[in-house]
Amino acid sequence: MSEPAPTPSSNRGPRPQDLDPAALRHQARRLAALAEPPWLHAEVARRMAERLPLIKLQPARVLDVAPALGASEEVLRQAYPDAEMLWHEAMPVLAARAAQARPQGWWQKLRGAASGRVEALPARPEVELLWSNMALHAADELPGLLSRWQASVAVGGFVMFSCLGPDSFIELRRLYAHHGWGRPAPDWWDMHDIGDLVLKAGFADPVMDQERLTLTWSSAESLLADLRALGGNIAPTRFAGMRGRRWREGLLAALDGLRDRDGRLALTLELVFGHAFKAAPRLAVAPETRVTVDAIRQSLRAGRRGG
């Protein structure tokens, strides 16, 4: 069975980064039915792959987490043509899409393998590279996911990921706040907070950086169509009711106010990139160690026999 999508803890208080699990499942079903992954993801995958030469390790096993929408298979195969390519999707509807995009060859059919699919995390055996493109901002419980990632990576291996940052669509956030329309998107994790969570998960030496992109459109209709192709509003604090034609007309009119000096509608995207290594575990050293007399005698006898 596929790994179930994580659900929020009942004793967890609301956080700005929280997501709506029902909305996540709805958007996953919608995006899984698209002919192609979101148009932005292939570009982000290319930018993330440009960072791979900085790392000398040549992984024997690569695990692509959330590949159905990550558009990363080509860049990973170009970077590591000799590596075993594995993949994992937590949501069944996205796993079905990913499997369909990876037709089985005769060897996979002979072995009964689902084209390198890892059914659940942690991955066994561990991998030298865990890669995840544009997926963390849709992770309902990020600390738990990072812990499963850490347990999936072999000692000496590394993780590399990208996601949206909290300043994405900042112009849209201001517009919604001005009109009292709720939130157009969650307040995604800050780059520094993600780095702290990566450390707490057990990774070492995290390196975080960000890029800002300005996307422009000629019309409000094309802007909304592209945003819909990227995903949907999964914030629990979004407007809860149904919005009709009059509201959409008001939204289109309000979006027209985002035009820049060239007359185009502009939105900012914050892209967060990160990588970290899995170091060998450190031995815990207690301030005081107790050893029984019987244990000392047994050790001495073993030493005499060995001599």
| Structural contact between residues 223 and 267, judged by C-beta atoms closer than 8 angstroms | yes
Decide if pLDDT at 210 tops 60: yes
Domains of the chain from N-terminus onward: 21-170+187-215+271-280 (3.40.50.150)
pLDDT digits (tens, 9 = 90+) for 238-291: 765 556 788 889 999 999 988 888 999 999 999 999 999 999 887 555 566 566
Length of the chain: 307
Q: Which of 40, 72, 56 is nearest to 161 (CA)?
A: 72
Q: Where are the alpha helices (DSSP H) in 132-219?
A: 142-152, 170-179, 191-200
pLDDT in the model for residue 100: 87
Place of tokens 């201001």: 174
pLDDT digits (tens, 9 = 90+) for 32-42: 998 899 989 99
- The structure's pTM equals 0.82
Decide if pLDDT at 109 tops 50: no
Angle between helices 170-179 and 245-255 (to 10 degrees): 130
